[in-house]
Amino acid sequence: MKAWQLITHTPSSPTYRHLKSGVSPAERDLFGSFRPTEQVWLAWERTREIASALDASVIVFQCPKSFLPTRETTRDLSAFFRAIERDDRMLAWEPRGDAWRPELILDLCAENNLIHCVDPFQSEPAYGDSVYWRLHGKTGYRYRYTDEDLAELDVKLRAWARAPGPNYVLFNNIYSRGDASRFLARYNSGRTGGCGIVQND
């Protein structure tokens, strides 16, 4: 599951329009970016509660492109992950945008025991014993993956998937169900063990 956006996104994000209760002007600087505030902490406790109810094995912290690698943001990110109770769940971090250098991502993931979550058609994972990939569509949400794309993804997953696992592939496009089913059949064809593929409905 994804962590609540109140942890990762500031109220300037357009996704905040879906909140049932708005954010007051006085609190706009207290949400998102892993800030050390009561509001972010309560958002984590709510996320943790839902993860427990769902028995989620992984929580993904997807950050917007506006979350840039400054001294303040990297400090707050590390402080957040050092402080929270993980309940034996894996945590995956998905930074977005070109500002994040692979070396910095590797350092932060290693320091905070995070899986680097990526779209493998855009970049390679920098860190993690498990793979957690989120495929957003090569040209956007309405993209349907071709057989050639899935063959390339198969090769990529076999190259990157390593013990102890488990490994996850999530299709985050409009054709997620069909693309995930096609890839699962390809990946598991004629092989023992297989893998599970996640779709985003």
> How far is the CA of 190 from the CAs of 82, 177, 187, 193, in angstroms?
43, 22, 9, 10
For the ranges 15-24, 120-129, 183-192, the maximum mean pLDDT occurs at 120-129
Q: Per mean pLDDT, which range of 17-31, 65-79, 124-138, 177-191 is the poorest?
A: 17-31
Give the C-alpha separation, 192 to 196, whole Å.
13
Work out the mean pLDDT of the chain and round it to a whole number.
91
Q: CB of 63 within 8 A of CB of 94?
A: yes
* Overall size of the chain counted in residues: 201
Residue 182 confidence (pLDDT) above 70:
yes
pLDDT at 28: 86
At 48 the pLDDT is 97
In this prediction, what percent of the chain has a pLDDT beyond 70?
Answer: 93
Average pLDDT in the 156-163 region?
80
162, pLDDT greater than 80: no
pLDDT tens, position by position, 67-109: 999 999 999 999 999 999 999 999 999 999 899 999 999 999 9
pLDDT for residue 79? 98
pLDDT for 50 beyond 50: yes
Q: How far apart are CA 37 and CA 23, in angstroms?
A: 14
pLDDT of residue 200: 55
pTM of the model: 0.89
Confidence of residue 192 (pLDDT cuts 50, 70, 90): very low
